[in-house]
Amino acid sequence: MNPIPRPELSHRLRRQFTRYRFYADTEIVWESAKRWGRVTNISRKGMFIEIVDAPPLDSAFPMLLALNIPLQIDCVVRRIVPGRGIGVSISLPGQSRKRFEALLLALGAGADPAATSASVSRTVESRVAEPRVMARAAAGGKS
């Protein structure tokens, strides 16, 4: 049996959770100043944020994800891509956890979590009735 090459093993271990393409503006508060960025992908434990003036590696900061009702997420910078942005690990305070789970569920079902009434293609509509409700919850709407 041949061992898995180190780069491949590293990649396999790094992608523990499904990563979703997701675009949303974000407000970051770091060193008593507000900075704005754009989330380009998201997973259960992290996200990538395009930002010009990035905080340094291992910096912790709160952010607000721009949904219908902003979602608070606590972040720690884990990777810096010069000229592009930062990879962050995340933790979710209090009620944000349920809304974040609903956001991921909606993304996994192909729904638009930012819309009050999520639209889902007819081919998957019957299989995703619950994720539609969860999408509205992620967006801060009533279910």
* Tens-place pLDDT, residues 55-96: 999 999 999 999 888 999 999 999 999 999 999 999 998 888
19: number of Cβ within 10 Å: 16
Choose the CATH number for 17-91 among 3.30.365.10, 3.50.50.60, 2.40.10.220, 1.10.240.10: 2.40.10.220
User: Measured between alpha carbons, how far is residue 105 from residues 40, 62, 132 in Å?
Assistant: 17, 23, 9
pLDDT category at 106 given cuts 50, 70, 90 is confident
Reply yes or no on whether the pLDDT at 130 is more than 80: no
Contact call for residues 70 and 99 (beta carbons, < 8 A): no
Domain spans, the chain: 17-91, 96-138
9, 15 in Cβ contact below 8 A?
no
Separation between Cα atoms, residue 33 and residue 41, nearest integer Å:
24
Rounded Cα distance, 108 and 87, in Å: 21
Phi, psi of 93 (to 5 degrees): -80, 145
